[in-house]
Structure 1
Amino acid sequence: MYFLANGDELGVAVAVLPADHGRKVVGRVVLDYESRCLRRKRLSTEGGATFVVDLPQTVSLDPGAAFALADGTAIAVTEAHEPVLRITGDLPRLAWHIGNRHCPCEIGPDHLVIRADPVLEDMLRRLGATLARGFAPFRPEGGAYGHGRTFGHSH
């Protein structure tokens, strides 16, 4: 059982809903890539209302997901814009080097995207990559043995 602390006025989120959930939305949280992987945490909506996420297992939230509150309403999840690097060049070679460092990577037809990192930026420039800094939601490729993120190498 979970006891609410003073200020958790929206209650407890007990499940994650897909984008087409159809529930009444009573708030919105904006989460970066790291924050979209969670099990138990206190969060605040854009309007300042607080709630507790208490899920049975760790999840990686997909674009458009929402938290299901115990009262039947929902909190929408929006992806934060965060510092990213857009990479072009010899993509197979560059992707190999990024993957060799276990760095999450978004893969497009003519580019790669990683979270901004000065060490990786230097390495990629030395490998001949063309880089463009920007701010965007970061949506890296999921693991080969499941959807979303992979949690370890137990596959």
Structure 2
Amino acid sequence: MIRCEATHAHAHGAPDATVTLDYDARMLRRKRLTTDAGEDFLVDLPATISLDEGAVFLLADGRQVEVRAAPEQVLEITGDLPRLAWHIGNRHTPCEVQPDRLLIREDHVLEAMLRQLGAHIHRVTAPFRPEGGAYGHGRTMGHDHGHSHDHGHHHDHPAEA
């Protein structure tokens, strides 16, 4: 089975294949995956990472497999979006922010709180692509801003104050 020991934030040129993963599956270190065309490959990374839609697995043979976000059950929230987003963020809950709605994973406690705040909530099936951390990368959990994706590529990130 072909191995993958590195990833990158985006493809260089057209990707050779795609793999569709839900939010939970996009956080991994070592796992057997299957491309959308049915080819298996083994991901064996040095550390656990969170991949955004558009990231690629760099296979040992040079091919690139692009990550797509799978549709999953989420809560669609409408109403006073700035106020509702503040309350969601105050609970460190991953949230996808769109111009006319917010999307979060199903959570009955948050749902009850948001309804009490006047939110309109619908259960929908959609790809879940929440905002990254405060510095534009990673998941909104904990306070570790360290990451490594230096595979011959260098990226500048804002300095932390």
Same fold (TM over 0.5): yes
**Residue of structure 2 in register with 1:14 after alignment:** 5
Give 5+ residue unaligned stretches, structure 2.
146-161
**Per-residue deviation, 1:46:** 3.0
Per-residue displacement from partner, 1:128-152 (whole Å, max 9, x unpaired)? 1011221111111111134232552
- The structure 2 residue matched to 1:36, chosen from 10, 22, 26, is 26
Aligned positions, number = 145
**Per-residue deviation, 1:72:** 1.0
Q: Secondary structure at the match of 1:125?
A: helix
- The structure 1 residue matched to 2:82, chosen from 83, 92, 98, is 92
> How large is the RMSD of aligned CA atoms in angstroms?
2.2
- The structure 2 residue matched to 1:49, chosen from 24, 39, 44, is 39
**Residue of structure 2 in register with 1:120 after alignment:** 110
Q: Secondary structure at the match of 1:98?
A: helix
Per-residue displacement from partner, 1:65-116 (whole Å, max 9, x unpaired)? 2211111112232110011222112223322321232210112233211122
**Residue of structure 2 in register with 1:5 after alignment:** none
For the 8 Å contact 2:93–2:140, the answer to whether it is kept is: no
- The structure 2 residue matched to 1:77, chosen from 50, 53, 67, is 67
Q: Secondary structure at the match of 1:34?
A: coil
Moved over 4 A (4+): none
- 1-structure distance, mates of 2:136, 2:53: 16
**1:143 pairs with 2:133:** yes
**Per-residue deviation, 1:40:** 1.6
**Residue of structure 2 in register with 1:131 after alignment:** 121
- 2-structure distance, mates of 1:67, 1:46: 13
For the 8 Å contact 1:23–1:72, the answer to whether it is kept is: no
Structure 1 residues 49 and 119: CA distance shift in structure 2, 3 A: same
**Residue of structure 2 in register with 1:4 after alignment:** none
What amino acid is aligned across from residue 43 of structure 1 in structure 2?
A: L
For the 8 Å contact 2:78–2:121, the answer to whether it is kept is: yes
- 2-structure distance, mates of 1:78, 1:123: 31
| Bigger Cα displacement from structure 2, 101-110 vs 15-24 | 15-24
Identity %: 62
Per-residue displacement from partner, 1:37-86 (whole Å, max 9, x unpaired)? 22221112234332111122322212222211111112232110011222
Q: Secondary structure at the match of 1:143?
A: coil
